Chain A
Amino acid sequence: MSGRRNRKATALAVAAVVLPAILFFLSLNIGAYRIPPGAVLSTLGDAVFGGAGGPEPSPYFDILFRVRLPRLVLALFAGAALAVSGASLQALFRNPLVFEFSLGISYGAAFGAALSLVFLGRGFPPQAAAFVFAVAAVVAVMAVAGRSASQTVSILLSGVIVSALFQALLSLVEFFANPYALQSLIFWLMGGLGLATWGDLAVTLPLIAVGVTVLILLRWRLNVLSLGDDEARALGVNVGREKVLVIVLATLTTAAATAVTGVISWVGLIVPHLVRMAVGPDNRKVIPLSAAFGASLLLVADDIARSAASFEIPIGILTSVVGIPFFIVLLRRSGRLWL
């Protein structure tokens, strides 16, 4: 029995590494511009090893390195960020319904982008504004929770209140937006990876990398924290400090991702649950596997978004429309929510 469990754990660990890598290379071959697989390899090879260029500049290089690669790298990082953030928050609050929306991160980011697109102009880009207000939303949650910030219910209740406030502010901005700016805002709110440039990623990726890495390193402590405050204290954990640390890291990763991708719903909720259904509630496995499967899920979703039709399907819509029924089916089959 123990050998069988070990084999399963090993298989999952291998899958966690191999699956995103395989999907990444397959995704490099998917796109509106048809590039033969051989040309993908040779273009990559030429770029890495310095091949000879032809007399005419080939668009393959631009498409692979300036369009597809930034998009796929962002899908990997954003998927991992949203899933790890969701998994960490669920473990921390011992609540399976918690994800980035619960702490106001998503609505804070959306409100920031709205302010930028509608009122602030090009001087304050939506990505920067989204990040600033996502962080501001969580700071507001912590401030509202006040001294009881270490209490799960207080923080969640504050999150609901702050989310509602930012949602109302977003509606207010939409209401007063002139129709020209409103078009840009609606487009941003639908979420997407297609406009990412290396310039955007230069800021976003290090933040996500730091946040996800530290959260993975903290996976042991999340196990202790998920036992409950009293038990964690009895085991010598500074509960208040650890909670704030996890919330800050989850905010950092999600805000950095959302600032570039727009609002992509449900990844932070669905992926950790799928992982728990597969491996159980041990955060030592759940957190890293969530990173791997979150990255894989967003890669696949983005592949579908850009290749299922002659036009692009907004990925935020896709993750909701496809992800939720899929989740419901799995939930009914498993018959319970793991935490």
Chain B
Amino acid sequence: MRVTGTAQREAWLARTSPPVEQVRPDRWSVPVPIPGSPLRYTLSYLIAAGVAVNDDALAAVRAMAKPGVLLEHGDLVPLPGRPVWTPRPHPGAPVPV
């Protein structure tokens, strides 16, 4: 295995939030905080077509319900289109409402 997200790994080891990064020409990695979880954040992927694919881990859903939250952690330019959440349920996790 070879680590390619070196800034992400440094942030993981330092217990801080990783930066927003452009990981493909049309795709950004965006950390979404998970308050109170040892995982600390979910890496969500923002796609230039205007679709955000998100892991619905606990409070991340609530954060993602306000797309502006994404922009507080980086210098992203707001993209056209309507964000769409594709939840990946966590077994046993509370169902977001």
Q: Do A and B come from one complex?
A: no
